[in-house]
Amino acid sequence: MTETGSTWMAEWAAVQKVKAPSMKNESVFYRNLEEELDLARQTGHSLPLHLPSHEIDFSSCDVIGLGHSGALRKEFLQELADNPNFHLGAGGSRLMDGHTRYQDKLEREIAEMFDVESALVVHSGWTANQAIFSTIPRPGDVIVYDELMHATALAGMKVSLALEQRLFRHNDVDSFIEVLEEVRDSQPQIRSGKRCVIIAVESYYSMDGDVCPLRELIDAAKEIFPLGNAQFVVDEAHSFGVVGPKGLGFVSELGLEKEIAIRMHTFGKALSGSGAVILSNNTVRWMLINHAKVLICSVAPPFTLLAAARAGLRLMQSEEAQKARDRLQYLTKLYLDTLTSNPIYKKANAKGLLRMPMHEEEDWHDQPFITHIVPIWTKSKHAHYLSFHLVSDGINGTPIVFPIVPKGEDRVRLIMHSYNTEEEVKTLVNSICSWAQEMLEIEASGDKNRLPKAAQRAFDLMKKVAAEDGVNGTKETNGVNGTNGISGITNGTM
C-alpha cells in the first residue's frame, strides 16, 4: 500500500468512531446530533474530509487542467493586476448596492460569447438551479424532468409554483413522449397553449457519464406541443468547457442554441473556479432578478469569483484548451480500449462483478465524442471494496452509492483529465483488474467471510480505532465480528 493510501484509510477509519454513548452528560442538543451521525458511523458510512493526498487523480472535475497546470492562477492574478481598485465583496444583493460595473461587463461578454440576450452570473450551480426551478415555472405549468436530474434542480422544484412535476425514465425518448402526451391530455390549459411544460435535462449526466438525446427530445416536444409552450432547461455543468466550439458546451455542439430557453453552465468544473451562469433571454433574466428569493436575499457574487470566471473563460477558448480537450478524448478512449480488452476485465464482466453499461450497449468507437465520466459499476455494495483498492494504489476513485444513485447501481465514479499520462491510465486499468482478479478468486473459493485485502485493512483499522477509544460498539453496533466485519457496512446504504 502507498503512503497516501495508508493515510486515507486511517482518516476514513477515524471518522467511524461512535460518540453518542460517551455523551450521556452532554446537552441533548449535541447528543441528538451525534446519535444521528452515529447511524452512519456504525455502518462505516461516515465521510471524512481528506486533504488532497492521492498520487494519481481520477476523481476531480478539473478535466482540462486549468487548475492543475497553474494556467488559471496565472490568468487570475493578471486579472487582479488589471483591475487594481476592485472591492472584494459586492456589499449587497444585485437589487440593492451589489450590482457592479465589473459583473455587468462580464455578463455582457458572456452573452456575446454565447450569442444570447442575457447571461446572469450567480454563486454556484446550486444557486442557479434553485433560482430557475423555484421561479420560472408558473402556477398551472407542469415540470417534466429526467429521473436522474441533479439534486440541486430537484431541490428547486420542491418549492416551485408548478401545478405538477412528472419524471420520465432516464434518457428514454419513448417514456418522455408518453409523459408529455399524458400531460397534454390531462391538462386543458396546457393543451390549449395557455400554460407551459418546463422540461429539465442535463447534457452530460454526472453519475453515469451518458449523453442526453436532446435533439430527439426537442423534436418530440415540438410535435406534441406545436404551439411552442414546451420549453427546455438544460444543465450543462459537465459538458461546459469539454465539448462544443471553444468549449461552449453540448447545446452549442449540436447547434441547438435557439431551441433552448435556459442553459445553466457552472464555473467549478472544467473552468476550475466557482460560480455559474444562467443563459436566457431578457424576460427570464428579469424574472429571476425580481422573483428568485435565492438571488434577492443573497449578496451578489464577490469580485474574486467573477475575476476567476473571466480568466477561466478566456483560457477555455484558447488553442491550448482545445488541445487539452482533444487529449481528454484520446485518453478516455485509451482507457476504455485498454480496460475492455483486458481478459481479466472480460471475465469479471461476464460474472457481473464489473460493468460499464454506458460503454457496453453501443459502439462508443463510432461516437464523435465520448464523455470523460467513466464509472465502473460493481455488484451491490462492492463499490467501497474497489475504492479501497484504488486508494491503496495511490489512485482516488469515488464510491457512489444509494441514495445518490438508485439501489443496486453502486459504482466508483472515475473522471479522466487531459493531464493524466498514458502510464497513469495503464496504472488505473491494472489496479481495477488486479481487484477484479482478487474478487474472482474470492468468489471461486466460496468463502463468504473473505474480504479483499484492501477492504480488510480498512475494516481492521475501523475496529482498532473503536477499541482504542474504549468503545465496544464494533461488534454490537457495527455488526463487525472478525473477518465478517463487513456485514454492517454491506447491509447499509453503501
Do 312 and 358 lie in one domain? The reply is: no
Structural domain contains residue 392: yes
Last residue of a domain, one of 259, 284, 316: 316
> Within a 10 A sphere around the Cβ of 147, how many other Cβ atoms?
12
Grid cell at residue 223:
410535435
State the pLDDT at residue 489: 43
Please name every residue paired with 142 in a beta bridge, in sequence order, or none if there are none: 164, 197
Structural domain contains residue 17: no
Do 137 and 206 lie in one domain? The reply is: yes
State the pLDDT at residue 53: 62
Residue 417 Cα distances to 69, 146, 197, 289, 335, angstroms: 12, 27, 37, 36, 11
Structural domain contains residue 37: no
Do 125 and 155 lie in one domain? The reply is: yes
Do 331 and 308 lie in one domain? The reply is: no
First-to-final CA distance of the chain: 24
Grid cell at residue 181:
402526451
Do 130 and 259 lie in one domain? The reply is: yes
Do 289 and 185 lie in one domain? The reply is: yes
Structural domain contains residue 480: yes
Structural domain contains residue 443: yes
Last residue of a domain, one of 288, 316, 344: 316
CATH number, residue 286 = 3.40.640.10
Do 380 and 241 lie in one domain? The reply is: no
Which residues, including other chains, have CB under 8 Å from residue 32's CB and lie 6 or more apart?
none
Do 372 and 424 lie in one domain? The reply is: yes
CATH number, residue 481 = 3.90.1150.10
Share the mean pLDDT of the chain. Answer: 91
Q: Domain of residue 405: give its range.
A: 56-66+323-490
Q: pLDDT (tens digit, 9 = 90+) per residue, 439-470?
A: 999 999 999 889 999 889 888 888 887 777 66
Q: Determine contact, residues 144/178, Cβ cutoff 8 Å.
A: no
Do 383 and 255 lie in one domain? The reply is: no
Structural domain contains residue 243: yes
Residue 440 Cα distances to 164, 201, 350, 408, angstroms: 48, 38, 11, 20
State the pLDDT at residue 367: 77
Last residue of a domain, one of 316, 346, 368: 316
Nearest to 155 by CA among 128, 122, 123: 128
State the pLDDT at residue 401: 86
How many structural domains compose the chain? 2
| DSSP assigned state of 192 | T
Grid cell at residue 442:
474470492
Do 160 and 293 lie in one domain? The reply is: yes
Q: pLDDT (tens digit, 9 = 90+) per residue, 138-154?
A: 999 999 999 999 999 99
Do 139 and 175 lie in one domain? The reply is: yes
State the pLDDT at residue 6: 81
State the pLDDT at residue 484: 35
Do 309 and 327 lie in one domain? The reply is: no
Structural domain contains residue 328: yes
> Position of cell 430527439?
216
Residues of the chain short of pLDDT 70, as ranges, are 53-54, 361-363, 469-494
Fill in the amino acid letter for 233. V
State the pLDDT at residue 480: 34
Structural domain contains residue 244: yes
Q: Determine contact, residues 310/287, Cβ cutoff 8 Å.
A: no
